[in-house]
Amino acid sequence: MNNRLYGNLIFELSKTGRKGYSLPQCDATHSTAELPETLRRKDDAPLPECDELTVVRHYTNLSHNNFGVNDGFYPLGSCTMKYNPVINEEIAALKAFADLHPLQPAETCQPALMLYHNLQQALAELTGLSEFTLNPCAGAHGELTGLMIIRAYHESRGDTRRTKVLIPDSAHGTNPASAAVCGLEVVEVKSTAEGLVDLEHLHALVEEHGPEIAAIMMTNPNTLGIFEKDIPLIAKEIHGCGAMMYYDGANLNPMLGVVRPGDMGFDVMHINLHKTFSTPHGGGGPGSGPVGVRKGLEDFLPTPRVVYYQAEDLYEVETDSQDQSLGSIGSFFGNFGVMLKAYAYILSLGNENIKMVGPLATLNANYIKESLKDVYELPIEGLCKHEFVFDGLRDKSTGVTTMDIAKRLLDYGYHAPTIYFPLLFHEAMMIEPTESESKETIDEFIKVMRTIAQEAKEQPDMVKSAPHNTPIGRVDDVLAAKHPILTYQQLINDKN
Ligand SMILES: *Cc1c(COP(=O)(O)O)cnc(C)c1O
């Protein structure tokens, strides 16, 4: 690829007067709509002027600088990035769905409302909960919605003192963030050396804060990939003090069709359709974070809701809030395209095959873990679920860090695992292969990871200065995060 010729920015390629289109003479008689003076532009918009080939090559080359799940193995832990069947993309892009308008009357889009309603039902069935809303547009949005439901429930009973949320120290960062946005106070629960919720610490916290606890937020398997086997005890403790069990189901793949959060005693949960159900997450693309509740909490769900009236065989959109409903929490219905993909995925697997998702994800993760633990440090031994954590190389004398290994993986054409999360280990490297990778792909990854461990011994400086084969080398990620330059103001100003 030749990035230099095609420039870093399309503005740099602009030549005044050059065009990539040719339009016929306009023959409309009323071609000049009269806009009010205040709305009219004084100057031409500062747009780049390029021929078509330049534009096509520029964007094609830029796309080659990216790495997606369609480019190669993407073992990012805690954020399921599995293969997404192309047919689901095609279904979601069908004109009949893509051209729907959220304000069109329900009688004109009955089949779409049926799919929407069926997905709500399917998620309830898969999770053992009573009812789902599909309105939230991300996992964090779902967490906030779920916590608002919990708060509304407590308040509806006149129990206004419950302002604390227990969150294990291994939790995903959005959990404490959502609690804070909801106006609740976070109380951290410690993990044991085995990576599980510390029951003694939990008990002490319940003793101390009992009547002030709104809920506990849990991920199971937790973000270390370990199944919290003491859930019944935790549920007893939490329900015993009048609080609720919240389940973070962002990555539901290890559990699908095997265990249901509703059966484990959870009251409220969210799912990331854009992780577990056939939409790649990340890059700011559309997401969907449905929230489910157990029996008795349905009235708190937000609107709009799609309701089925069997007698008339009619799907209706209900927007007028029940007394207790949260009302609207976003625009319209959420991201319908993501829901279509999820529904197609669930139907295409079916009841029999969806049970295979969890065991395969678990088998793949354990296979990698066992194949590499002689060279990478495994802080928590034993069976993992869909993901696991290494604490850097076993041989610490090389000075090669998890960051260096992640960068070196890019040279070999792999996306890096999640690194430096969870915060429980200094050199955390969290690997999740997912259920959808072949044995050959996984074996190749294991081979590369072993090669890098060898390189760390023999040529540590080469690994420490990786990546060597990517268009851009090491970036200053602190600077990139703290001072991102997202516009190209200078050139635009120059043009003006
Ligand atoms: C990704 C993730 C979230 C947050 O989901 P977003 O859609 O990114 O807001 C929450 N919890 C866990 C465990 C996750 O992996």
The reported pLDDT for the residue numbered 2 is: 47
Chain segment 7-44, per-residue pLDDT in tens: 578 888 999 999 988 888 887 776 567 788 898 888 98
State if residue 154 touches ligand 1 by the CB under 6 angstroms criterion: no
Residue 496 has pLDDT above 70, yes or no: no
Residue with tokens 């969210």: 270
Residue 1 has pLDDT above 50, yes or no: no
* Residues 256, 357 contacting (CB under 8 angstroms): yes
3-state DSSP helix/strand/coil % of the chain, to nearest 5: 40, 10, 45
Q: Which atom of ligand 1 is nearest to the CA of 274?
A: 7
* 164-168 and 213-218 beta bridge pairing: parallel
* Residue 248, number of CB atoms within 10 A of its CB: 28
How many whole angstroms from 174 Cα to the centroid of ligand 1? 7
Instruction: Return d(Cα 219, Cα 421) in angstroms, integer.
Output: 15
Long-range Cβ pairs for the range 173-176 (8 Å, 24+): 174/139, 174/140, 174/143, 175/143, 175/217, 175/219, 175/248
Asked if the bond preceding 467 is cis, omega within 30° of 0, the reply is yes
The reported pLDDT for the residue numbered 283 is: 61
**Strand, helix or coil for residue 392:** coil
Mean pLDDT of the chain: 91
Residue 483 has pLDDT above 90, yes or no: no
Selected residue with higher pLDDT from 278 and 27: 278
Backbone angles phi, psi at 426, to 5 degrees: -60, -40
State if residue 304 touches ligand 1 by the CB under 6 angstroms criterion: no
* 268-271 and 244-249 beta bridge pairing: parallel
Question: Cα 202 vs. chain centroid, distance in angstroms?
Answer: 28
Residue with tokens 């200078």: 490
Region 345-359 average pLDDT? 92
Nearest to 186 by CA among 173, 204, 199: 173
Burial per residue of 97-118, b for 16 or more beta-carbon CB atoms within 10 angstroms, e otherwise: beeeeeeeeeeebeebbebbbb
Q: 83 falls in which pLDDT band (50, 70, 90)?
A: confident
Instruction: Return d(Cα 66, Cα 283) in angstroms, integer.
Output: 11
* Residues 144, 337 contacting (CB under 8 angstroms): no
Residue 4 has pLDDT above 50, yes or no: yes
Residue nearest (by alpha carbon) to ligand 1 atom 6:
139
- The tokens for 197 are 């919720």
How many whole angstroms from 272 Cα to the centroid of ligand 1? 7
Question: Cα 5 vs. chain centroid, distance in angstroms?
Answer: 36
Backbone angles phi, psi at 263, to 5 degrees: -75, -20
State if residue 276 touches ligand 1 by the CB under 6 angstroms criterion: no
| 302 half-sphere exposure, CB direction, 13 A CA radius | 23
How many whole angstroms from 44 Cα to the centroid of ligand 1? 42
Residue 492 has pLDDT above 70, yes or no: no
Instruction: Return d(Cα 431, Cα 394) in angstroms, integer.
Output: 16
Residue 5 has pLDDT above 60, yes or no: no
Instruction: Return d(Cα 76, Cα 78) in angstroms, integer.
Output: 7
The reported pLDDT for the residue numbered 79 is: 81
Region 61-75 average pLDDT? 86
How many whole angstroms from 297 Cα to the centroid of ligand 1? 23
* 244-249 and 213-218 beta bridge pairing: parallel
Residue nearest (by alpha carbon) to ligand 1 atom 1:
79
State if residue 219 touches ligand 1 by the CB under 6 angstroms criterion: yes
Instruction: Return d(Cα 93, Cα 341) in angstroms, integer.
Output: 10
DSSP H/E element including 419: strand 418-419
State if residue 335 touches ligand 1 by the CB under 6 angstroms criterion: no
Chain segment 388-420, per-residue pLDDT in tens: 999 999 999 999 999 999 999 999 999 999 999
Region 344-356 average pLDDT? 93
CB neighbour list of residue 225: distance below 8 Å, 6 or more residues apart: 77, 365, 384, 385, 386, 387, 388, 389, 430, 432
* Residues 494, 48 contacting (CB under 8 angstroms): no
* Residue 330, number of CB atoms within 10 A of its CB: 14
**Strand, helix or coil for residue 52:** helix
State if residue 288 touches ligand 1 by the CB under 6 angstroms criterion: no
Window from 265-274, 276-285, 313-322, 439-448 with minimum mean pLDDT: 276-285
Chain segment 156-210, per-residue pLDDT in tens: 999 999 999 999 998 999 999 999 999 999 999 999 988 899 999 999 999 999 9
The reported pLDDT for the residue numbered 82 is: 82
Residue 479 has pLDDT above 60, yes or no: yes
- The tokens for 166 are 């227990």
Instruction: Return d(Cα 302, Cα 331) in angstroms, integer.
Output: 12
Instruction: Return d(Cα 207, Cα 241) in angstroms, integer.
Output: 9
The reported pLDDT for the residue numbered 391 is: 97
Instruction: Return d(Cα 477, Cα 187) in angstroms, integer.
Output: 30
The reported pLDDT for the residue numbered 225 is: 87
- The tokens for 318 are 């209900």
Instruction: Return d(Cα 134, Cα 138) in angstroms, integer.
Output: 10
State if residue 140 touches ligand 1 by the CB under 6 angstroms criterion: yes
Chain segment 294-326, per-residue pLDDT in tens: 999 999 999 999 999 999 999 999 987 668 999
Amino acid, res. 176: P
Instruction: Return d(Cα 108, Cα 104) in angstroms, integer.
Output: 7
Backbone angles phi, psi at 297, to 5 degrees: -110, 0
State if residue 138 touches ligand 1 by the CB under 6 angstroms criterion: yes
pTM above 0.75, yes or no: yes
* Residues 406, 419 contacting (CB under 8 angstroms): yes
DSSP character string of 199-237: HHHHHHHHHHHGGGEEEEEE-SS-TTS---TTHHHHHHH
Question: Cα 231 vs. chain centroid, distance in angstroms?
Answer: 24
Supply the DSSP symbol for 24. P
State if residue 255 touches ligand 1 by the CB under 6 angstroms criterion: no
Chain segment 96-146, per-residue pLDDT in tens: 999 999 999 999 999 999 999 999 999 999 999 999 999 999 999 999 999
